[in-house]
Every structure is written in structure tokens, then in C-alpha cells.
Amino acid sequence: MGHANEVSFIDGGGTFFCDISNLRTLLNNSMKRYKATVNAAGMWVETILYAQNQAQAYRIFQAIFGPNNVPHQPLQIS
């Protein structure tokens, strides 16, 4: 990262940098919020993440919590 006020993102096209002040705009324009009920350490909890589409969100939830801990497709909430 070049500056203290930048964050980096990795997507299918590689890594890119974004000024933190533009982060909300970036997320609102290119990403959607998805909610899923997942099993985390034996507790069923609702959690939210940003993804480009439902299939990507489902794969990310499965990668984080394990395939058996994400029994349903996530729901787009915004």
C-alpha cells in the first residue's frame, strides 16, 4: 500500500487500491450485502458480508465457516 489512508482489495482482476474516503462509494457501486445464518463454533449466528453476487457470497461464507456450516444460500439485503 502506498499511503496510510489506502486499503487494498483483491478480486478476480488482481489487487487494487482505494482511498478510505471512497470505500463506501466503491462498496455501494460494485458490491452487494448478503446475510447468511452460519454455524460458528457450535452457535448458529447471522452474519453479513459484501460480494458481487449470490454465488460468490455463498462460496465466501463456505470458505470462512466450512461447507457444512452454511446450510442455505445467503440472502441479498442491499
Q: What is the pLDDT of residues 1-39, one digit of tens each?
A: 455 555 555 555 555 555 666 767 766 677 899 999 999
Domain check: are 74 and 39 in the same one?
Answer: yes
Q: What is the pLDDT of residue 29?
A: 72
Is 37 found in the same domain as 25?
Answer: no
Domain that holds residue 75: 31-78
Q: Count the helix, strand and coil residues of the chain and give each as a percent rounded to the nearest 5.
A: 35, 40, 25
Residue 68, pLDDT > 70, answer yes
pLDDT score of 14:
57
Do residue 38 and residue 65 come from a single domain?
A: yes
pTM (two decimals) = 0.65
Same domain, 35 and 45: yes
